[in-house]
Amino acid sequence: MSETFVVIGGDAAGMSAASKVKREDPEREVIVFEKGEWVSYAACGMPYYVKGAVDDLNDLVTVTPEEFQEERDVDLRTGAEVVGIDLDAQTVTVETGDETDEQPYDDLLVATGASAIEPPFEGLGLEGVFTIHDMDEADVIENYVTDRDPETAAIVGGGYVGIEMAEALSAHGVDVHLYEMLPHVLQPFGEAVAEVVEEHLREQGVELHLETAVSGFVGDERVDGVELEDETVAADIAIVGVGVAPNTDLAEEAGIELGPTGAIATDEYGQTNDENVYAAGDNAEATHVVTGEPDHVPLALTANRAGRAIGQTITGAPTPTGGTAGTAIVKAFDLGAARTGIIDEDRAREAGFDPVSVTISASTRAHYYPDGAELTVTLVANRESGELLGGTVVGREGAKRIDTVATALTADMTVTELQNADLAYAPPFSPVWDPILTAAKVLAGKLE
């Protein structure tokens, strides 16, 4: 009899694994339980749907449920929530509507993702107060904006989702107030990037309230204000984007161990403390390529890649899920900001390094070629070894150049090796010395 691979969670990690297993071993039974109705969707596209840059929410779906069932032969069950895992019996308990069933597995992947954090705010249940994590929420927000025509928005949290939603709501002519309790937005990107982004947000008409904690919302059924420490400010729509927490309850209750970050602990193949159970995506840890420590970076590529690797491992070709450098990029109106690895000296010291860093600004194109933009690049290295630790870039174009830095980190390159990389040049694309090479050159000089 063929073996059964069961997946809990039908998005990036889960469907990547399911598809890979079916491709490598078409005989194997692959069953995916997804509690919602959406599968294989790009949550990353939701702010652009709300903005109006994407016409139809269905456009965010990569592979439809019908394609999974009919073309990939995956037994996909939507509206089916797994409520228990029995590690000894190797079964999961599944609730579908009023029915409860036990499903045996040979291998199990827990790919339950993460959930938006809901702070203990007063008035969180008022109409017009939203988090944005699930696809249905994007639809509800879009409808609310279109039907109610709000004048003023309160965005709570200056992370990448808050900034993307600031842009999305501004596009509808809403006055956006963004509240961040820390001194700067985009905490993982560091101060140097944040200051450039903040200036740009203000230029775009966003009212930034830094070091300002929100304590709740007020209104009579529908939100009409946001409560701060000593005042209430008008708001007729509010988006709470204060981060996500990994969905680990199901795994933890079954006896699957969590790691130091609070996400599910896994080895380099995504295996948990139970040899038949794997975890991948926003609910699981990955190893940081610079520190070698477990980290929790809930981003899409990590989830897709880990799911695919686990699919290969299960079908007989052990494949590491790959490390994370925490590489991330965000669009803030006309700016791009990106980060990878350890992005400033303070964080490098905390991680036990003796850092040297440099920040340079250079044009993204040859100085004589039209429409170049200034790109600010920060690189951080370990003084003794010259090993590259990470960096950031921010500018009106070229933020994807962070990928060069991420590649160098993955390859354990020194700053000198990065400086000697043979990067492409032609005037419309870069100066002869690409901004990343210029930063590496200056940093190498500081290391001598």
Ligand X SMILES: Cc1cc2nc3c(=O)[nH]c(=O)nc-3n(C[C@H](O)[C@H](O)[C@H](O)COP(=O)(O)OP(=O)(O)OC[C@H]3O[C@@H](n4cnc5c(N)ncnc54)[C@H](O)[C@@H]3O)c2cc1C
Q: Which is nearer to ligand X, 134 or 417 (CB)?
A: 134
Distance CA 444, CA 382 (A): 11
Cβ pair 291, 382 in contact under 8 A: no
- What does the per-residue mask of binding to ligand X show for 240-269, with x meaning CB under 6 A? -------x--x-------------------
Residue 12 binds ligand X, judged by CB under 6 A: yes
Q: Which is nearer to ligand X, 161 or 439 (CB)?
A: 161
Q: Which is nearer to ligand X, 245 or 360 (CB)?
A: 245
Q: Which is nearer to ligand X, 249 or 346 (CB)?
A: 249
Determine the interface stretch with ligand X among 10-18, 201-209, 345-353, 417-425 (rule: CB under 6 A).
10-18
Q: Phi/psi of residue 213, each to 5°?
A: -90, 135
Q: How many CA atoms lie within 13 A of 72 on its CB side?
A: 23
Closest by CA to 90, choosing from 70, 109, 69, 105, is: 105
Distance CA 344, CA 358 (A): 9
DSSP assignment letter at 364: S
- Looking at residues 43 to 62 of the shown chain, list those that interact with ligand X (rule: CB under 6 A): 43-44, 46-47
Among 114, 240, 263, 399, indicate the residue that binds ligand X (CB under 6 A): 114
- Looking at residues 189 to 228 of the shown chain, list those that interact with ligand X (rule: CB under 6 A): none
Residue 298 C-beta: closest distance to ligand X, Å: 5
Distance CA 346, CA 126 (A): 40
Q: Which is nearer to ligand X, 234 or 329 (CB)?
A: 329
Residue 168 binds ligand X, judged by CB under 6 A: no
Determine the interface stretch with ligand X among 2-10, 174-182, 186-194, 311-319 (rule: CB under 6 A).
2-10
Determine the interface stretch with ligand X among 255-263, 298-306, 316-324, 429-437 (rule: CB under 6 A).
298-306
Cβ pair 395, 373 in contact under 8 A: yes
Residue 257 C-beta: closest distance to ligand X, Å: 18
Determine the interface stretch with ligand X among 96-104, 111-119, 226-234, 363-371 (rule: CB under 6 A).
111-119
Q: Which is nearer to ligand X, 90 or 112 (CB)?
A: 112
Residue 112 binds ligand X, judged by CB under 6 A: yes
Cβ pair 380, 346 in contact under 8 A: no
Look at strands 175-180 and 277-279 and give their pairing. Answer: unpaired
Instruction: Classify residue 344 by burial, with Cβ atoms within 10 Å: 0-12, 13-18, 19+.
Output: buried
Distance CA 428, CA 349 (A): 38
**What amino acid occupies position 400?**
K
- What does the per-residue mask of binding to ligand X show for 124-143, with x meaning CB under 6 A? --------xx----------
Q: Phi/psi of residue 29, each to 5°?
A: -80, 125
Cβ pair 437, 388 in contact under 8 A: no
Q: Which is nearer to ligand X, 116 or 439 (CB)?
A: 116
- What does the per-residue mask of binding to ligand X show for 359-378, with x meaning CB under 6 A? --------------------
Determine the interface stretch with ligand X among 19-27, 33-41, 100-108, 220-228 (rule: CB under 6 A).
33-41
Cβ pair 417, 447 in contact under 8 A: no
Distance CA 182, CA 214 (A): 12
Determine the interface stretch with ligand X among 5-13, 211-219, 287-295, 363-371 (rule: CB under 6 A).
5-13
* DSSP H/E element including 178: strand 175-180
Instruction: Classify residue 9 by burial, with Cβ atoms within 10 Å: 0-12, 13-18, 19+.
Output: buried
Catalytic residue among 4, 23, 24, 44: 44
Q: How far is CA 353 from CA 56, 350, 385, in A?
A: 47, 7, 10
Residue 282 binds ligand X, judged by CB under 6 A: yes
Q: Locate all alpha helices (DSSP H) within 149-224, ordered by sequence.
A: 160-170, 191-203
Residue 300 binds ligand X, judged by CB under 6 A: yes
Q: Is 44 a catalytic residue?
A: yes
Q: How many CA atoms lie within 13 A of 312 on its CB side?
A: 13
Q: Which is nearer to ligand X, 321 or 357 (CB)?
A: 321
Number of residues that bind ligand X (CB under 6 A): 33
Among 3, 81, 268, 387, indicate the residue that binds ligand X (CB under 6 A): 81
Among 8, 109, 201, 413, indicate the residue that binds ligand X (CB under 6 A): 8
| Beta partners for residue 295, in sequence order | 286
Interface with ligand X (CB under 6 A): 8-14, 33-36, 43-44, 46-47, 81-82, 111-114, 132-133, 161, 247, 250, 281-282, 298-301, 303
Residues with catalytic function: 44
